[in-house]
């Protein structure tokens, strides 16, 4: 079956955990459920993933979630694995992989060139209303639990997009450019007044010699 996507109703299930108790999705209505599928108990990747959920379990519970692990292993195998690793959450036995089929995580796998049918590592975050909030298909173990916890800590229980920037309210106004002080041009120096040459001094007119009285002819 195809893998449920965000917004789909999560397929119901009722499986036995490591202590033999029956756990049903319907019992958990009103709470977030972290349902993670893993291939096999006590294998390296599955042990790391289980221990990561163990280490963050108190934070996940504080965020309002119930953690459930699911694999095709028996309840006895789950009991041994949970006891050895000190797991504080339920591991559900799905030996006929009916629940794995319902969640679309049972399919063809490849290892060292060999193809076979098996469980694909995946996690589903189910909301209090029984609908899928987020899906992690083909999980990479490193950092996965931190991503799940971050999604739970969002107000909606699922990762939300980054807030859009507010164009006017939050924009930082650039400081107004300071006007450069006006530089006054130095006043033009007045040309020195022309030197007035003194008027030429007129020489006194030569006095005429008195006319001689004429002598007789």
Residues involved in catalysis? 46
User: Token pair 């319907």 is at which residue?
Assistant: 26
CA 40 to chain centre: 33
Tokens of 114: 């060999």
Provide the pairing of β-strand 65-71 with 14-16: unpaired
Nearest to 87 by CA among 136, 125, 49: 49
The CA-CA-CA angle for residues 9, 15, 17, to 5°, reads 125
- Cα–Cα distance for residue pair 132/11, rounded to 1 Å: 9
């Amino acid at each position: 079956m195809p893998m449920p996507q965000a917004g789909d109703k999560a397929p119901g299930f009722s499986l036995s955990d490591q202590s033999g108790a029956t756990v049903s999705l319907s019992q958990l209505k009103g709470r977030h459920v972290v349902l993670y599928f893993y291939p096999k108990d006590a294998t390296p990747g599955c042990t790391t993933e289980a221990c990561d959920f163990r280490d963050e379990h108190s934070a996940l519970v504080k965020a309002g979630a119930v953690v459930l692990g699911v694999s095709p292993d028996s309840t006895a195998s789950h009991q041994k694995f949970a006891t050895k690793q000190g797991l504080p959450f339920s591991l559900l036995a799905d030996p006929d992989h009916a629940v794995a089929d319902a969640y679309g995580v049972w399919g063809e796998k490849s290892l060292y060139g060999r193809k076979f049918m098996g469980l694909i590592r995946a996690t589903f975050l189910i909301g209090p209303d029984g609908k899928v909030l987020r899906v992690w298909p083909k999980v990479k173990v490193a950092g996965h639990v931190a991503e799940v916890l971050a999604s739970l800590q969002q107000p909606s229980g699922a990762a939300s997009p980054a807030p859009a920037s507010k164009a006017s309210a939050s924009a930082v106004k650039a400081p107004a450019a300071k006007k450069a002080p006006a530089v006054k041009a130095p006043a033009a120096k007045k040309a020195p007044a022309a030197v007035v040459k003194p008027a030429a001094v007129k020489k006194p007119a030569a006095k005429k010699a008195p006319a001689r009285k004429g002598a007789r002819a």
